[in-house]
Amino acid sequence: MFVELGVTGAIVAKKTSTAKVLSSELVLHTRVFDVQREKVIEPSGLEATRDIIVHPGSVVVLPVLPDGRIVLIRQYRHSVQQYLWELVAGRRDGDESFVSGARRELQEETGYTARSMRLLVDLFPSPGFLRENMAIFLATGLKKGAANPEPDERIEQRIFSLHEVEQWMRRGKIRDGKTVAGILYYAKYFAQKR
């Protein structure tokens, strides 16, 4: 069961020793993330300076209809200058729980509400420089309603079979990392059991 704790929101096995922070400086503050520069002594004894993007955490939702088909969305992502097919996702708002954020994002981006939200996988998308916890949820018991996207979101929605999504991933038509991770995890550990 997914239990929200601490900064990242999840119970994570940790080694007892962590880095000793010698200094920490806010380098950049934006509406989406901060950049922190930290001088540290890592558990191995290495002294280093690390620039870290600090993010409040994000939620990803894999909406599965009663017949097993999956709802994906397509939107423009300026950082890669492409339209991408993706799972529903977004940043947590303030102190919002991961589950509440997942429910909010699902409704905003697709109009669906879910009777059940089950954690599929909790991961760190790029731990080399990004302090972000990403929780990927399976949404079932879906009920369609009206979408309410953010003013800067232009979202297209489509329903796929799991087989179609897997083929699109193999062909490179789905390249979004969180979507690939969520779909593969679902296909491996959950889809056959339904």
Tens of pLDDT, residues 40-50:
999 999 999 99
Do 142 and 183 have their domain in common? yes
Question: Is 110 found in the same domain as 34?
Answer: no
Q: Do 153 and 109 form a contact (C-beta atoms < 8 A)?
A: yes
Q: Would you say residue 39 has pLDDT above 80?
A: yes
The answer to whether residue 145 sits within a structural domain is yes
Beta bridge partners of 140: 116
Tell whether 132 and 44 lie within a shared domain. no
**Confidence band, pLDDT 50/70/90 cuts, at residue 9:** low
Kind and range of the H or E run holding 59 = strand 58-63
Tell me the residue type at 62.
L
Distance, in Å, from the CA atom of 182 to the CA atom of 100, rounded to the nearest integer, reads 19
Helix, strand, coil shares, percent, the chain, to 5: 20, 40, 40
Work out the angle at residue 154's Cα, subtended by the Cα atoms of residues 152 and 156, and round it to the nearest 5 degrees: 155
Q: Does some domain include residue 173?
A: yes
Q: Does 144 lie in the same domain as 122?
A: yes
For residue 6, tell me if it sits in a domain: no
Q: Are residues 168 and 141 in the same domain?
A: yes
Same domain, 162 and 119: yes
Does 91 share its domain with 32?
A: no
Contact call for residues 59 and 41 (beta carbons, < 8 A): no
Q: DSSP string of 43-57? A: TTS-EEEEEEEE---
Structurally, how many domains does the chain consist of? Answer: 2
pLDDT digits (tens, 9 = 90+) for 136-167: 999 999 999 988 777 777 899 999 999 999 99
Instruction: Identify the domain containing residue 186 by its residue range.
Output: 58-193
